[in-house]
Every structure is written in structure tokens, then in C-alpha cells.
Amino acid sequence: MKQVLVLLTTLTLVACGGGGGSSDPTPIPPPPPPPPSVSKAEAFQLLNQATFGATEAAATGVMNIGVEEWIDSQLLQPASSQLPYLQSLPRPTPIGLLNADRIDIWFQNAINGNDQLRQRVAFALSEIMVVSQLGALEQAPYALASYYDMLARNAFGNYRDLIEDVTLHPAMGVYLSMLGNQKPNPDLNIRPDENYARELMQLFSIGLVELNIDGTSVLDTEGQPIPTYDQAVIEGFAHVYTGWTWAGFREFENAFPTEGNQVVPMQLYPDFHDTGAKLLLNDVVLPAGQSGEQDLAAALDNVFNHPNVGPFMAIRLIQRLTTSNPSPDYVRRVAEVFNDNGSGVRGDLRAVVKAILLDPEARPDMPMEIDGKIKEPLLRLTQLWRAYDAQSAGGGFPFVAASFFFGQGPLQSPSVFNFFSPFYAPPGEISDSSLVAPELQIATEFQNTFITNYFFYQTFFQNHLNTEELRPEDVYIDFSEEITIADDPDALIDMVSGKLLGGVMSDTLRQEIFDIVSVIPETDAALRAAETIFLVVSSPEFATQM
């Protein structure tokens, strides 16, 4: 007992700085505060903004480490790729048949990829800087896969690098006819093609009118928007983009596509580049006598440094990720990060994406009706598949009919203007309120019928109970957990709501599902489970992203 008292006395003296020391020991710093608590509903909100669909497992991860830490961990994930997969497959005839495999690997990355945020941002960029399989690229699956991989690599890079990679990619060169563009030759009636020159400005960078940093239009003395460029500027940029075509040849006229050069940047052939002076944005004039590389670098710098780019890209990315109708303050905050990431760097997309997701307007304390957005149809499908462990006997997701059923498919836009316009406002309450709902442009009666029918077929027939009747390529879902508790309608609804809605379901929807499920005999557990899942995925609540 005496020894114990001596030990306690010694420990007390040490703790109090006693024992003959002349100064206090360095205090031990307090442990870092725990991450802020995140509810399941909040985790689902983030994941539906930043991934291809929230799942309970992913939500648990967010709840454990916090929103910002989850974003930071995603920013470090390397990019999942498409091109190596396509190149590993036998080459079919015609080569365009590989587009089915390109769609397959897109779904594989969207459903199972670890780089969910990167892939979601790449998908957003693919709807801004559009190229499409439909048209001249139908027989160029390698080029399409390479283009998407380029977007994924640049998703957290710098916007200036992104627009250069987009400009020189053969897929874009073919799609917007810059590839093969050559200097004027009046004798042969050759004039530089203006297609890419126009769309880079209108759709990829600055838009049609001058913008304030908050995305509102700059007005002239008569209250009218001020155009960002005119025909002379379009022509100036068109002359910049001359002399570029397929890489690897000695002569411009004899260059042609190969499996190798459709996945590397286009090459400059100096003899076909216009070396005259060129008018650019803000009355900047490129001097005569520069090389094609010098002209291109200066022209892209001219676009990159235009004050519209920050608010333009802020609006486009916010609309694709968090809300269709960001306030001017939200746009301004994100545009300011684009202009300066805090370290003096302009165009840092990593910082921009993080600012979009962490902004108070992205996760409001009191959501309002104008918050959030309509989920893109394709994202409703991927969320269902992720939540219910979708798979196929063949191991892939060769859903080549996605664009038919859902009005969307990876790199399958009907035009360079994407599947829908960022300015689309359906007639009625939304338009009358000066709001927009871009995704509703493809929510036609025809398309909604196909989507609903597909979800019906998916839940009632393409599920784990019917695998023997399915083809190897058919994707099926697994709701075996729901079957085990289907005798209890409330528990069943809670489980499905937890997997698909983060546990947030209106009383109206819950009552409707309860009434329907309750009339199904308890012995038909599979029908009860399928019916519950179908009613949720076909509901407006599932189609809305808050």
C-alpha cells in the first residue's frame, strides 16, 4: 500500500510540474475536433450530387468522415479509363460495333468505379464540351473513349489545359470540323471553317453575352445585353485553327485516321496554317507571322482570361451537379474561386468542384422548392443499379439501348447543344417564375413512358429471382433483403426508402405504397418487394435531387 501511495504522489507531482523542474512541460495539444455530424439524408444529398447514385454503404462512409473529408478523398482518386478496355478487345467489323463495349465500360465505371466524383464531373463536362457518337464519329469508338478519358483526367485539373486538350483532340476535330481546316485559298474557294471557333466561345467558355461575375448579364446604356463577340472575331479564331489534322503524316492532304492517331492530339502542318493577323476577343489582335502553335496558345489564353469564363463555367457545373437555379451569390462565390483558387491560380477545377459542393446553397439548412434539380434520366438508372447491386451473368453492362429508353447515353447527344439546353424552362409555373429546369426538355410523354416501363421491367422481371430466364447481357438487380421482411409493409417501405431516398419519404408516397402492398398476400413476398421498389423509382421524389 505504501508503494502505491508513493507512485500516486510521484504521478501527481509530474502532472503539476513538480519534482524540482524549473519550467512547465510543453502542454499536450487537445485532440482535433470530431468531424461535424452528417445525417443519412445529408449524406444521400451529397452523394446524389457527386456520384452516380447514393448507396447506404457510401452514405455510411460520408457519415463517418464528414462531407469535406469525403470530397478530399475523392479528389485524390485516379481516373478510371475506357480506352485500355476497348483496345484489349478483338477488333470487330465494322469497328463501330465497339461502341456497345464503350457504353459497357462507361456503365462499369459509373456503377463500380472508385473515382465517383471524377467520373460524375467528367459526365458533366461531356454535356458541356459535347462530342457524340451520333454522326461522323459513329465508326470512331477509340476516339470517343479517348475523349471521355481526357475529360476524366482533366476533371480536377486546370481549365486552360482542358480547353487545349479539347481543341486538339481528334474526336472534337472531326465533330466540329476543325480537323483538316486550312488557310484561305481564294482560287480554290477555300475559307477556314468557323464551326469550332463559334462553339468554343458560345458553348464551352464565355457564352453569347457579357456576364457580371455573378452570372447576370452586363447591360448597355439602353438596358440591352452586350454581345461577347461578332462575326469578325469568329473569323479570327477560325483562322487560328488552321493547319491541324491527323498526326503522323508528312503531308496534310494525305493524312487519314488510324487506330493510333485518333487517340493522340492533332498535328500542325505549318504550310496549311494561316500566318496573317487575327482579331480575337476584347479587340486583341494576333500579329502576323506567328506559328500555328503560337497562334493557338495565344488564342486559348485569350479565351481563358475572358472575365465570362468563371461565371459561365460556374453556372454550367452547378446546374449539372447541384441545382438548376443557383442564386447570383452562389454563382459569384464559385466564379471567384475559378478566378483565384486562394493561391493565385486561375481555372483550378479541383477548387471549383469543391466550392460547388461545399457551398451553403448546395446543402441548405432549410431547403426550398427552387433548390435542387431534376435528376437526369440516366442518373436515375445508375442510382437504382448502384443501390441494388446490379450485375449481369456476362459481368458487364452492355446497355446499348440506354439512349432509346432514357433519352440519354454516354457521348450520344443528338447535337453539340447536348440533350437539353441550360436555359430550358417548361411552360407554366416554372417559366412564369423565371426559373429553368433543363432536364425536363427530354421529359416528354413518349420518353417518360419508356422510362417508367423500363423500371417496371427491371424490378418485376430483371431481378435475382429470374436469372435463369435472362440473357448473359441482361442487367438484373438483387432485392433478396427486402423479401425477408416483406411480411411487414412498414419495415419493407423503410428499407426501400433507406436505400433509394436516404430515409426521407413523404407521408403521401408512404401511404400510397402501404395501401398497394397491403393488398398483396404476405405469401407473395417477391411481388411485395418489387412493387415497393417500382413505386419508389417511378415516383417524383426519386426523380428529384435536392
Based on the fold, state whether residues 440 and 489 are members of the same structural domain. Answer: yes
The bridge status of strand 244-245 relative to strand 267-268 is antiparallel
Q: How many domains does the chain have?
A: 3
> Within this chain, do residues 267 and 349 fall inside the same structural domain, yes or no?
no
Task: Tell me, yes or no, whether 336 and 377 share the same domain.
Answer: no
Q: Are 243 and 207 in the same domain?
A: yes
Answer yes or no: are the C-beta atoms of 502 and 491 closer than 8 Å. no
Task: Mark whether 411 and 337 lie in a shared domain.
Answer: no
Q: Given this model, what pLDDT does residue 240 score? A: 98
What DSSP designation does 184 have? -
Q: Which of 290, 320, 341 is the last residue of a domain?
A: 290
Structural domain includes residue 258 = yes
Which of these, 317, 355, 131, 285, lies nearest to 215 by C-alpha position? 317
- For residue 361, the model assigns a pLDDT of 96
* Residue 105 to residue 348: CA distance in whole angstroms: 28
The answer on 343 and 390 residing in a single domain is: no
Residue 164 contacts residue 240 (beta carbons within 8 Å): no
Answer yes or no: do 390 and 512 share one domain. yes
* HSE-CB of 20 using CA atoms within 13 angstroms: 1
- CA gap 169, 178 in Å, rounded: 10
Q: Is residue 380 part of a domain?
A: yes
SS3 371: coil
All residues at 6 or more sequence positions from 321 whose CB lies less than 8 Å from its CB, including other chains: 49, 50, 120, 121, 124, 353, 356, 357, 362
Q: What is the pLDDT of residue 35?
A: 60
Q: Residue 468: inside a domain, yes or no? A: yes
544-545/373-374 β-pairing: antiparallel
- C-alpha separations of 459 from 340, 452, 475, 479, 533 in Å: 48, 11, 11, 9, 7
One domain, residues 278 and 332: no
**Torsion sign over Cα 206, 355, 108, 533:** negative
Alpha helices of 255-361 — where are they, by DSSP H? 292-304, 309-321, 328-339, 349-358
The reply to whether 54 falls in a domain is no
pLDDT beneath 70, residues of the chain: 1-25, 33-36
Q: Which of 270, 297, 298 is nearest to 284 (CA)?
A: 298
pLDDT at 34 (0 to 100): 66
pLDDT score, position 3? 41
Asked if residue 27 belongs to a domain, the reply is no
Distances in Å between the Cα of 145 and the Cα atoms of 101, 199, 397 are: 10, 21, 16
Q: Does residue 258 sit in the same domain as residue 324?
A: no
- 253 shares its domain with 170: yes
Question: Residue 298: exposed, middle, or buried by beta-carbon count in 10 A (0-12, 13-18, 19+)?
Answer: middle
What distance in Å separates the CA atoms of residue 222 and residue 203, rounded to the nearest whole number? Answer: 26
Q: Is the dihedral of CA 34, 35, 36, 37 positive or negative?
A: negative
Q: CA-CA-CA-CA torsion for 248, 250, 255, 260, nearest 10 degrees?
A: -10
Shared domain for 245 and 191, answered yes or no, is yes
Residue 398 C-alpha cell reads as: 452492355
E strand intervals along 371-482: 373-374, 391-392, 475-476
213 backbone dihedrals φ, ψ, rounded to 5°: -65, -20
| Domain interval for residue 171 | 160-290
Confirm whether 83 is domain-assigned.
no
- For residue 56, is it within any domain? no
Residues 395 and 528 in one domain: yes
What is the per-residue pLDDT for 369?
81
Picking from 275, 70, 105, the residue whose alpha carbon sits closest to that of residue 182 is 275
Three-class SS state of 334: helix
Q: Which alpha helices (H) appear in 127-244, and where do they start and end?
A: 141-154, 159-168, 170-175, 195-202, 231-240
Decide: 390 and 477 in contact? Cβ < 8 Å: yes
Rg (CA), the chain: 28
Q: How far is residue 244 from each of residues 223, 232, 269, 514, 524, measured CA to CA in Å? A: 42, 21, 6, 63, 65
Q: Hey, is 149 helix, strand or coil?
A: helix
Mind listing the pLDDT tens digit for each residue in 405-425? 999 999 999 999 999 999 999
Report the half-sphere exposure of 353 (CA within 13 A, side-chain side).
28
Distance CA 477, CA 93 (A): 32
The structure's pTM equals 0.93
CA distances in angstroms from 256 to 107, 248, 262, 266, listed in the order given: 31, 9, 9, 11
Does residue 341 belong to any structural domain of this protein?
yes
For the beta carbon of residue 311, count every other beta carbon within 10 angstroms.
Answer: 25
Q: Which of 307, 297, 379, 289 is CA-nearest to residue 347?
A: 307
